[in-house]
Amino acid sequence: MNRRRIVFFASLLLVVLVGLTFRTQIKAGFEGLLGNDFAGPGTGSVTLSIDSGESGEAVATDLVKLGITKDFNFTYKSMIASNQTFIAGSFTMLRGMRTGDALKRLTDTRYLAVNHVTIREGLRIGSVFGQLSKATGISLADFRAVTLKQLGLPTSLPSLEGYLFPATYDFGLKLSAKDVLQIMVDRMNEELNYYQVPAVKRHAVLTLASIIQKEARLPNDFYKVSRVFTNRLSIGMHLQSDATVSYGSGGTTVTTTDAERANPNGYNTYVHAGLPVGPISAPGSKAIDAALHPASGSWLYFCAINLKTGETVFSTTLAEQGRAVAQWRAWMRANPGWNG
């Protein structure tokens, strides 16, 4: 094919494309004159929800009912002509949109209306519910009413604590409390599947991971803290985690009193050997990994000697631990009233 033919066919293609565009514009303008379409671009804000598997006819009905597009027949015919596909979810739309613009928006995830929330690692279940309620508008009572059985979890668990994966979520506007929690439980199961944790070991892994999450102050220390607890478990030594004691007594810090450390509840690892009866926080991926893959070492103790920086000393002997505790006390004297 010579250059002249290439230029001819390119020119012909351009004419066809221009003609099609012009025809589309003429048709849109004609439909507007007939009163079948809005002039656009639209004003205000309205939410259109599309359920999974919903028919085009139903979507067209809702578009017109909400005042987004003007005419059902024109809207539905436009869907068929463009071989329209839909994304399930809630979309932020405008009232009085051109039909073509409205249909394009329903394929663009940028316009999905969602409740955005970030659940941090280490939060207790009460705080998790509080943040979910604030983000979604679903009442705390609704979240608390969801049962373990509804979420496919063993009814023998002490609570849902530790089974909701901490992460950033975009929840659809039409979700129920059960739907939201199921998404978080499923996400935790995905994480446990990734680490190939068998079902019979998941409760123990999440329990240990939740303690590591609360006790470790620096990311690189997660694996050392795991080793301390793993070493203690292997020789039958009590974990003596103040974080578990605080959880069992309803405290809000890792600092505990003599009375709290003497309370015989199932979370008190000063009184009871082994792991507590269940998780004490929402463990993240690093804490789970640390629980499964502790660092190599003979440590049996650790002590944070600078609560501001998180610097922690790991010790093998009680004498070494005593020196670390002395460093911590000196830091506390130099920083009176520290509660960070």
pLDDT means per 10 residues, the chain with 340 residues, are 46 43 46 74 90 91 94 94 88 93 91 91 96 95 97 96 96 91 97 96 98 94 97 96 91 80 91 96 97 97 91 95 94 81
Cβ atoms 182, 124 nearer than 8 A? no
**pTM to 2 decimal places:** 0.77
Same domain, 107 and 120: no
Same domain, 162 and 242: no
212 Cα distance to chain centroid: 20
Helices (H), the chain: 3-33, 56-65, 72-81, 99-105, 125-136, 140-145, 177-194, 202-215, 222-235, 242-249, 258-262, 285-292, 318-334
Give me 301's structure tokens.
Answer: 């103790």
Same domain, 220 and 317: yes
Give me 150's structure tokens.
Answer: 């509804």
Same domain, 325 and 235: yes
Among candidate residues 194, 214, 239, the one where a domain is terminated: 194
**Prior bond of 41 cis (ω within 30°):** yes
Same domain, 58 and 104: yes
Residue 190 in any domain: the answer is yes
Number of domains making up the chain = 3
Same domain, 251 and 326: yes
Q: Could you list the residue range(s) of the whole structural domain that residue 49 is in?
A: 31-111
Among candidate residues 94, 111, 128, the one where a domain is terminated: 111
Cβ neighbourhood burial of 37 (10 Å; 0-12, 13-18, 19+): buried
Q: What amino acid occupies position 284?
A: G
Helices (H), 148-267: 177-194, 202-215, 222-235, 242-249, 258-262
Q: In 10 A of CB 88, how many CB atoms?
A: 13
What pLDDT, on a 0 to 100 scale, did the predictor assign at position 35? 72
DSSP letter, residue 90: E
Cβ atoms 280, 163 nearer than 8 A? no
Same domain, 149 and 242: no
Cβ neighbourhood burial of 232 (10 Å; 0-12, 13-18, 19+): buried
35 Cα distance to chain centroid: 46
Among candidate residues 70, 86, 111, the one where a domain is terminated: 111
